[in-house]
Structure 1
Amino acid sequence: MKVYPFKIPKPVDEHLIVQIDKEPIFYNRLHQHEEIQISHIINGNGKLLVGDSVHQFSAGDTYVIGSNLPHIFKSIPQEKDAHMVTVFFTDKSFGSDFFMLPYFKDLKQFFFNATTGFKVITNKEIIAQQLIELQSQNRLKRFISFLELLENLSQISTEPLSSFIYSKTLSVNEGERLQEIFDFVLKNFQQSISLDEISKMAFMTPNAFCKFFKQRTNKTFFQFLIELRIEHACQLLSSKKELNINLVSDMSGFNSISNFNKKFKKLKGITPTQYQQSLLQ
């Protein structure tokens, strides 16, 4: 199935879609859709690419991904299936002016934050439970619970996922090309990747590639690559706390421990050693 843009399958008379994904890995193609997406990870971990940023995801996380925000959940295969519950809707699902009614003025913060996506930081257990319960509710109860969910999501502390607002959908050609770039980088980020190599893979000149990537992600290719490597390092430090920092640097694609420490502190605000120590407390 083509995924750029992606159409959420739904019955004609259904305005609020609750979807359960339980497979060896989550859908692993870069895609975007008109619907706002609220997803809770029940099981699974890996990397989340959204907009112009890279994050690590794991069981217990809840994310809101805004309308037309390109994203991909890249799972790490495990013995147990990856499991996620998601609700899809648009700001016009219940009528073009529904959320403009004065009753919903307190939801403005949610819709504002959703434009660049966010991760739920506080009240995680309550929001997760609300999402899980939507699966078994009848339409009326589901609608009421959905509004309560939005109210809670408007009042919590959040962590932005992206800094780039996507005002248009990617063309099929653009999506395919970005998908090929991301697939290549996700498979090879632990190795050296030159500008000439990635440009040739995308069938573009280096200058054309740099312009193409920057316009669609709001950052340079090497900024993206470094962020991906640092997030991988964080995953290693979180899952294998006994690992030596030098080994983590090598396994994350850095050829210099000093460069690794410098880039890690720039992105995370602390050194890899301090990050590792914080996990042991």
Structure 2
Amino acid sequence: MKAIEYRLPKDFDKSFIVFQETGKFFPCPWHYHPEYEFVLVTKSTGRRMVGDHIGYFEEEDLVFMGSMLPHVWVNDAVYSSGQATHPADAIVVHFLDNFLGQDFLSVPEMEEFRKVLRLSERGMALKGRTRRKINTLLKQMPPMNGLQRLSTLLTIFDIMANTQEYDLLASPKFVQNFQYESSDRFRKVTEYIMQNFDQDISLPEIASVASMGVTAFCNFFKEQYRVTFVEYLNTVRIGHACKLLAENDRHVVEVAYECGFNNLANFNRQFKKFKNMTPTIYRKTLAI
């Protein structure tokens, strides 16, 4: 499935895009674009794919996605067949990283939100009180004037910068173009993981790559990615497994060992933890 690049027209007197998508079903195919994007589903149910993540959406589902991350929302059959009692509806916000000028994200006040943008390279499904607060604000945005919209968007940025209520979607392995603003030390660490994830990587080993002690490295890593090193390593391995499951018909056991898992039981357990389904069901889902 080849993703196509989409560009949305922006009004000449507005710095970012807010629109309401309403119809029998959501029409966009598997696509990507340079803008960051909020998608709030207000009516409809179905499946969503964000990178190599397959999930299910319903009313009030809210996802924030980074630049150039492929995605698609596919309505349940009752919508695509025209049998739903109401149209599918969503509120969408698109903005570029320089929509308020080249230096906007460089100001000190944006430091925490810059971390959010880095995380959004994988897609973020918001949840809990954070989702409820942002959804309320997004629903108010379509009829607002320009300054009201901008003020509301900045409020949403502030909420995003101060929450842990989200799930990351696409795997790090899927997101090939890393553009983190952190140190050369972290670049070396991520490159080492990508080159060696199919082998055992101990904490002392990876800490030495960063020229750090184990405790300092663990704190450093958790601060940057908001997950532990082991959790991150497993998402890389599961992401590669998704690629292999989609591209060939090799046995699941072969895929498990090629991705760095030393037994099938652990592979199945980790895969279900990150993808909410077994490897076999994931492969069957891709074939639908």
TM-score (norm 1): 0.60
Asked if 1:69 corresponds to 2:69, the answer is yes
1:265–1:116 CA distance, 2 compared to 1 (3 A): closer
Q: What is the rounded CA distance, in whole Å, between the counterparts of 1:73 and 1:224 in structure 2?
A: 22
Q: Give the structure 2 partner of residue 9 of structure 1.
A: 9
In 2, are the aligned partners of 1:27 and 1:72 still within 8 Å (CA)?
no
Q: Give the structure 2 partner of residue 165 of structure 1.
A: 175
1:54-203 counterparts in 2 under 5 A? 54-76=54-76, 77=79, 78-123=84-129, 124-156=131-163, 157-163=165-171, 164-167=174-177
In 2, are the aligned partners of 1:53 and 1:224 still within 8 Å (CA)?
no
In 2, are the aligned partners of 1:28 and 1:75 still within 8 Å (CA)?
no
Once the two structures are TM-superposed, the CA of residue 64 in structure 1 deviates from its matched residue by 0.5
| Percent identity of equivalent pairs | 21
Once the two structures are TM-superposed, the CA of residue 71 in structure 1 deviates from its matched residue by 0.6
Once the two structures are TM-superposed, the CA of residue 138 in structure 1 deviates from its matched residue by 1.2
**DSSP-derived class of the 1:220 partner:** helix
**DSSP-derived class of the 2:5 partner:** coil
In 2, are the aligned partners of 1:68 and 1:167 still within 8 Å (CA)?
no
Kindly provide the CA deviation profile for residues 2-59 of structure 1, in whole angstroms up to 9, marking residues without a partner as x.
9721111112332111010011111241110000001111011111111111111111
TM-score (norm 2): 0.59
Kindly provide the CA deviation profile for residues 221-273 of structure 1, in whole angstroms up to 9, marking residues without a partner as x.
525999xxxxxxxxxxxxxxxxxxxxxxxxxxxxxxxxxxx95884148999x
Aligned residues: 189
**What residue identity is the alignment partner of 1:131?**
L
Q: What is the rounded CA distance, in whole Å, between the counterparts of 2:37 and 2:100 in structure 1?
A: 16
Kindly provide the CA deviation profile for residues 192-231 of structure 1, in whole angstroms up to 9, marking residues without a partner as x.
xxxxxxxxxxxxxxxxxxxxxxxxx8533525999xxxxx
Which ranges of structure 2 fall in alignment gaps of 5 or more residues?
179-238, 250-266, 279-288
Q: What is the rounded CA distance, in whole Å, between the counterparts of 1:127 and 1:88 in structure 2?
A: 15
In 1, are the aligned partners of 2:44 and 2:87 still within 8 Å (CA)?
yes
Kindly provide the CA deviation profile for residues 149-206 of structure 1, in whole angstroms up to 9, marking residues without a partner as x.
01111222110011122539xxxxxxxxxxxxxxxxxxxxxxxxxxxxxxxxxxxxxx
Q: What is the rounded CA distance, in whole Å, between the counterparts of 1:3 and 1:222 in structure 2?
A: 18
1:263–1:103 CA distance, 2 compared to 1 (3 A): closer
In 1, are the aligned partners of 2:3 and 2:70 still within 8 Å (CA)?
no
**DSSP-derived class of the 1:91 partner:** coil
| More moved, 104-113 vs 20-29 | 104-113
Q: Which has the higher contact order (CA 8 A, sep 6+)?
A: 1
- The RMSD of aligned alpha carbons is 3.0
